[in-house]
Chain A
Amino acid sequence: MQIDNRTLYIFSFIIFLIGVYGAITNRNLFKILISLSIMETALNIFLVSLGYISGSKPPILSSGMKTISPANINISDPLPHALVLTAIVIGVGTTAVGVGLAIKLFNHYKTLNINRMGDKDEL
């Protein structure tokens, strides 16, 4: 089955919106962090799909190919893949920091419900 690029874009955008929805509606801190991760995933899909050309091959030199010229081959752009790798690493880092903070907050307030994390007392 061949997937159109546009389908991928819309798909990633929908996932992004799901992430935003989660970040808004959830009360649990962990769920918010997970929503943020979902947003990042959507982004990664978007980036990967940027380099994808419908019906193309992976950008690997196979044995039959001596030279690469735009006229005769049909491979997808490798650069976004590399970018996505970096983005994933960074996303993991951010999530890790966020989880660390969440644990700290849980120890402090004994709850993960963000509505109950006191505000007035510290103003």
Chain B
Amino acid sequence: MALLQISEPGQTPDPHQRRIAVGIDLGTTHSLVAAVRHGVAECLPDDQGRVLLPSAVRYLGAGRRAIGHAAREAEAEDAENTLVSVKRFMGRTLVDVAGHARLPYRFVDRPGMLAMATRDGEKSPVEVSAEILATLRQRAEDSFADELFGAVITVPAYFDDAQRQATKDAAQLAGLNVLRLINEPTAAAVAYGLDNGSEGLYAVYDLGGGTFDISLLRLTRGVFEVVATGGDAALGGDDFDHALADWALAQAGLQAGTAQDKRAVLVAARAAKEALTDAGTVTLQATVGGEPLAVPVTRAQFDALAKPLVDRTLSAVRKALRDAKVGREDVQGIVMVGGSTRMPCVRTAVSEFFGREVLTNVNPDEVVAIGAAIQANALAGNARDGELLLLDVIPLSLGLETMGGLVERIVERNSTIPVAKAQDFTTFKDGQTAMALHVVQGERELVGECRSLARFELRGIPPMAAGAARIRVTFQVDADGLLSVSAREQVSGVEAAITVKPSYGLADEQIAQMLKDGFAHAEDDIAARALREAHVEAERMLLATRSALAADGALLEAEPLAAIDALLLALEQARRSDDAAAIEAATKALADGTEHFAALRMNKGIRQALAGKTLDQV
């Protein structure tokens, strides 16, 4: 006979003793998954002991694909069908991608986001990223022999709304529950901050394969506050490879005509660059058009090629310092992140700029994933309460197009999120009954120079004289940095709202279609998956509500308490059925029905935490 567990009075039995949550660094050149095991955050290796998964997917035809190392090895010989560094195409159209003509892909321009034609059909960067995420998810589930509770996924701090949304879509496609998107430099600081226990102003210099980020963070008593971010979403180690490859070809008087040649020279350039970290001179070797290419490169020659790129990073650093209104001497430490910071010329330039040695004692490839894992563990409720809180800012201003193609900024960049801002607009013509709203992101004053995020219309405004209508537009940015916009005419109460799904248009039904098409879930039946997700969500809600009642049920009068009990019972009953829609409806009813209770608990929590304390104790 099984023994029944009895918990102590006042304590909530928790069937999920420990929830498995992972941190994922979805990188341009490679990706990693990490988790906290036995109190230590570590990267999870694959079955051959490797932690780095090359961010490469090769489409083999007939729905088969090779992911990671196998794909990377075939890069030179099957360049068109081997997609690498797709992170720089996330949420991007062809015109956004500088130098795309040099890349060996057959790009397909689509509104909102480009795609690449392969022998298996057109693939969007979201689909390619989802393949990589699904592989990492599988690796984690194999490591723990259990399902994941959720994941924290990192994005460059500089990612705009479209790029963040694309990342979240890829995770959803890969079947991951996203606990939070966090900025890569923040994750790196988490990894360092907890190791070193330092307080003060820190800079995180993150030069990855395809993106450069500079973040200024203030660390105070377990709170990581991003005070400013900046960078360049199209500058990274790949650019150093390109610079070296172009130079080597020019030295040899050769041209790379075919996709295969281009890829071969790039691979050779990357190898030469990496070798120059330790050696003074190397020879770049490749085969171009059947001809052998062998160009000796000294470190000084490479440093000269790299200098314009390094200088571009430093001007972004200056801008971030200016945004934060601090001098370079105020920075107490510089965390180096990303494999490209192994280049001696980068370390020297950054050390000289700040006038102090940069920090490099955590593996720059792993540091982001490790920080993400620590945060995932805290969000899953495994860490002690109050240990870690990340307060992020929005990287780029959000605004609306106004008359004459000008931008009215509504949410300023570097505002702490979550944030909501409202602004009133009015009509321009007499009797105007509709208003077109164009949401943009960026720092420039002209709409044409900002990124267009979404367009929507507010219709049914009662005819009034020009300037009489009061249209309140509200921007809300959640903790992941994702935007929703609503508009309401104040006199008539007419409303329109949009969750800014960037115009590349992976609508929910398209994601559902991709899942149905067997993406990453070949064996999975879509209905079964929906039912399982409904069950998980219902359980989560039941558990959360019962714990809340056990802790704070006394806050409720008899009547609302009975109402919540009834909703609990209804969900319990619905859960026993196989009707996903009914379970979802009952879960939603419980969530809606407990909102007032949640507000009461929040008030109590704040009062307890803060009341009676003098300010210097806080």
Chains A and B belong together in one complex: no
Q: Which residues of B contact A (CB under 8 A)?
A: none
Binding site for B on A (CB under 8 A): none
